[in-house]
Amino acid sequence: MKGITYALGGILIGGFCGLIFAGGEMNYVKKSQRGTFSPIFSIVFAVVGGGIGLGIGISKAEDERKTKALGLDNINSTKLKEGRKWFYQSEWMNPSTNEKYILKTFYNKQTDNTITTLNEELHTNHHTNSGSEKFVSKAHFDVLDVVKSNLKNSIS
């Protein structure tokens, strides 16, 4: 049902944008020919805009379906301070497989680097020893976006 809502919303918004674009394009047509081209431009741009909006709406609905199927809509993120360095952690569970994912970004004393692990395995080495909240936060959520994208691309 949500897919139909996104598709119809995309068609309406795209068609409306197409009509606005057609009105702007009419400024490039001679005044004597505007009566001939106005309905053609309006119909063509509304259909093209509606088609583009339909594609975007369907894509948005599919992305939301994958997000819900992987449990990515229920991510719990926490931050802690260990000494002078920050530690970020995000957890979620895949509802279909009951697999728990834990993504951690922290300063590793052994390697003297800030790293990100996914389920206790090294995912990204950030090649810096910065443990500031600003850097760790940005690095963590950048890697989280990559992990979410990879998970979404792994299912059909």
At 22-67, the pLDDT tens digits run 777 777 777 777 677 677 777 888 888 888 888 888 888 898 988 8
pLDDT, the chain, mean:
85
Give kind and range of the element (H or E) at residue 74: none
Q: Which two tokens stand for residue 4?
A: 């139909």
Alpha carbon of residue 43 to chain centroid: 32
pLDDT of residue 34: 65
Instruction: Using alpha carbons, select from 99, 106, 94, 43 the residue that is nearest to residue 70.
Output: 94
Q: Is the CB of residue 25 less than 8 Å from the CB of residue 41?
A: yes
Residue 124 amino acid letter:
T
Tokens of 64: 């939301």
Calpha distance 121→64 (Å, rounded): 28
Contacts of 78 (CB under 8 A, 6+ apart): 88, 89, 90
Q: Which residues of the chain have pLDDT under 70?
A: 1, 34, 37
CB 88 within 8 A of CB 140: yes
State the pLDDT at residue 90: 94
**What pLDDT does 154 receive?**
86
Residue 144 is predicted with a pLDDT of 93
